[in-house]
Structure 1
Amino acid sequence: MKRTIIVVAAVAVAAGGAWFLHFKGGGKRRDPAARAVEAKLGPIEQSVDATGSVAPMNRVEIKPPVGGRIDTLLVDEGSLVTSGQIVAWMSSTDRAAILDAARAMGPAEFKKWQDAYKQTPVVASLPGEVILRNVVVGEAVSAGSVLFAVADTLIVNAQVDESDIGKIKIGQKARIRLDAYPDRPVDGKVYDILFEGKNVSNVITYGVKIRPGKLPPFFRSQMTANVSFLVARKEDALLLPAAAVSDMPGGKRAVSLTPGPDGKPVSREVTVGLETDDQVEILDGVAEGDKVLLPQGRYVAQKAPESSPLSFMSGRKVDRSEGAAPKPKKPASAAGR
């Protein structure tokens, strides 16, 4: 019984201490205070973002004029070629068979038939860079085999959502970032907007082609690209963090200025201009140097309870007999059996 009383008393003391500490500060709970930021002049860019990939503007496959065997390769992937340049030499099927037979007859016989049957050249039909070599020396090929692929230049094909396609124009500036080289942006311009859209999972997108201003050496066909199309830019715009501007009923926007003489924040309607995920341009309602609150927290009054955690001890007496074993009942008298 004594042990039960001690445990109950310890719990009551602990609860009372917690109650006292919680409300010692005047019945207020402090959340993180709101932080003030200053409206400043600076540059802002509004853009449309899209994803795409690197691809050749024009891609031409080089195929042999006849079936036969490859004798010599003169270019490799990354080589620059001109239109009409010989990229490989080959023997036709007949020449290859004759030379194989002549080789067994000795060097003189081989030289005789080698001079009699000339090699066949394989020629590039497009100036550009070799982006694919699909053959080795000695390989037998048919007239339809793809030996090389040549691209005149590399571009970026981006897919723009239909809700944003109206903001894209021919000649518009764009910034390209490859997943493989995210810290090496490349500037380019839009040179083509496709008329036919694509429907993928009920999302309509339109193809937009971007030509880099200067093709970097690290561009490779099929690389994933992230493109930002520059819609508008201002150099000396009055800027606030986007979190400082609140949406109001009726499509209005407002900010909370630092507390006035009465100690309360002042709400003021503003007119906004360009917007990004991080910044908002303020056209009217706030001046340079004004301090605006970011809604990060506030003081919240908390009502203290009418009674402390010790109240469960009041209002009734603690029966010191609680927890004791029940008294045994008297046995029935023998007469009642």
Structure 2
Amino acid sequence: MNRKKSIIAGSVSLILILGYFLFFFQKKGSERYIEAEVKRGNIEITILATGTVQPENRLEIKPPVAGRMDRVLVNEGDKLTKGQIIAWMSSTERAALIDSARSQGVEELKKWEDLYKPTPVVAPMSGTLIKRNIEPGQTFTVSDAVLVMSNRLTIKAQVDETDLAQIKINQDCDVRLDSYPDIKISSRVERIAFEAKTVNNVTTYVIDVLPLSTPEFMRSGMTANITFFVKNKENVLTVPTEFLNYENGKPFLLVKSAVDNHKEKKVEVKVGESQGKNTEILSGVEEKEKIILKVTEQEQKKSNPFMPFNNRSKKASTSGSSSGANQRSSSGSSSPPPGP
């Protein structure tokens, strides 16, 4: 019995101690106000994506017969035209015959070189040589890709299906390569894939982006960051997105009274485009009007008497959000802001 009473007494003591600490550390909120101004500015809507530099058409040049390479006339990076002779090769039979004639002297070699001409290797299309896999004197088979060409380099961008409706053919965009992040490459959308790719339940479409002028340093396989320009509005009324409040799904702003700095009024507004940080205002407020954001500060009611320090800690929080999709609810009532 005594043990049971001791347990009960201990439990009651613990509850009292917890209640004491909860009482002394109970937090209450205080409000302060941040002020901004309705301004004119530009709203630019963009879509960001990543991609990889790849040849639009990658063509492997393979010899028609097995043999040996006599001369290679081009190097990687050279610009080629369709029909241009880029190498000379000998079939296995010619290579054996020329080697035999060379052992018999210069005159015999010249005779057979004039009678049995080498075979030219020509460029099948105009473009750039991106890979040279052969050197003079090396042998090859019909399955060996001795040279590789591409007509031009493009960027294969992965765009989420939710953004696809905002991507159009010939749309302007900028490309920045991870290898050269400070250089902007003006480009345009050339092709939008008809078939989607789904990886880890994320559906994307491949967008072919073509540089208006391909820089010399661009290489196949480079990682690229693409900015698609969807819409650009200039000289429109804007406010910081975090200042927008929502009540019953309708946006409003707290506008500072022009007569009394200690008062504000709730003004319903019509919003337009948003770029995240700033939002376009179509109607409801005028340029240079002062708007207010109410911020709640959480502070300790009383310090712990057992702690050696008696400082108060404060934590500020706002009930708003930075976009219209994540709406900030508010009752619309507030106490007057402090004067300037």
TM range (shorter): 0.7 to 0.9
Gaps of 5+ in 1: 1-27, 311-337
- Rate the CA distance shift 1:134–1:309 in 2: closer, same or farther, 3 A: closer
Distance 1:136 1:47 in 2: 48
Q: Does 1:207 align with 2:206?
A: yes
1:130 and 1:212 mapped to 2: Cα distance? 18
> Are the aligned partners of 1:62 and 1:123 in contact in 2 as well (CA < 8 Å)?
no
What SS is found at the alignment partner of 2:100?
helix
Quote the offset at 1:199 in angstroms: 1.0
Residue in structure 2 matched with residue 255 of structure 1 by the alignment = 253
**Equivalent-residue separation in structure 2 for 1:117 and 1:70 (angstroms):** 15
Aligned-pair distance for 1:155?
A: 1.5
Following superposition, the deviation at residue 265 of structure 1 comes to 5.2
Deviations 1:272-325 (A, max 9, x none): 211113221111233211233456x555676458x9779xxxxxxxxxxxxxxx
Match status 1:224 vs 2:223 = yes
Q: Does 1:65 align with 2:97?
A: no
Equivalences for residues 64-213 of structure 1 within 5 A: 64-213=63-212
Q: Residues 234-249 of structure 1: matches in 2 within 5 Å?
A: 234-246=233-245, 248-249=246-247
CA separation in 1, counterparts of 2:90 and 2:302? 99
Distance 2:51 2:38 in 1: 36
Kindly state the Cα deviation for residue 87 of structure 1 after the two structures are TM-superposed: 0.5
CA deviation map 1:72-98 (0-9, x unaligned): 111111101110001111111111112
Aligned residue in 2 for 1:25: none
Could you say if the C-alpha distance between residues 191 and 50 of structure 1 is closer, same or farther in structure 2, counting changes exceeding 3 Å?
A: same
Partner SS for 1:166: helix
In structure 1, C-alpha distance between the alignment counterparts of 2:78 and 2:191, rounded to whole Å: 28
2: CA distance between counterparts of 1:29 and 1:190? 52
Q: Which amino acid aligns with 1:209?
A: D
Amino acid at match of 2:248: G
Distance between the aligned counterparts of 1:161 and 1:29, measured in 2? 42
Residues 67 and 173 of structure 1, relative CA distance in 2, 3 Å threshold: same
Can you list the C-alpha shifts for 1:5-28, whole angstroms capped at 9, x where unaligned? xxxxxxxxxxxxxxxxxxxxxxx9
Deviations 1:38-84 (A, max 9, x none): 22212221122221111222222222222111111111111011100
Equivalent residues of 2:56, 2:152 under 8 A apart: yes
CA distance in 1, matches of 2:90, 2:305: 102
Contact residue 63 and residue 122 of structure 1 kept, 8 A: no
Paired AA for residue 263 in structure 1:
H
Deviations 1:139-176 (A, max 9, x none): 11112211222222222111211111111122222222
Alpha-carbon distance in structure 2 between the residues aligned to 1:109 and 1:102: 5
Distance (whole Å) between structure 2 residues aligned to residue 158 and residue 191 of structure 1: 11
Aligned partner letter, 1:275: S
Specify whether residues 135 and 37 from structure 1 end up closer, same or farther in structure 2 by C-alpha distance, changes over 3 A only.
farther
Return the offset for 1:198: 0.7
Matches within 5 A, 1:4-15: none
* Gap change, CA 1:228 and 1:105, over 3 Å in 2: same
Aligned to 2:267: 268
Q: In structure 1, what is the Cα distance between the partners aligned to 2:76 and 2:248?
A: 61
Q: Deviations over 1:205-256 (max 9, x none)?
A: 111112222222222112111212221111112122233334x243333334
Cα displacement (A) at 1:115:
2.1
Contact in 2 for aligned 1:52/1:224 (Cα 8 Å): yes
TM-score, normalisation: structure 2: 0.74
Say which SS state the counterpart of residue 269 (structure 2) adopts. Answer: strand
RMSD: 2.8
CA distance in 2, matches of 1:254, 1:184: 41
- TM-score, length basis structure 1: 0.74
Structure number, greater radius of gyration: 1
**Unaligned stretches of 5+ residues in structure 2:** 1-27, 308-340
Alpha-carbon distance between aligned partners in 2 of 1:225 and 1:94, rounded to the nearest angstrom: 48
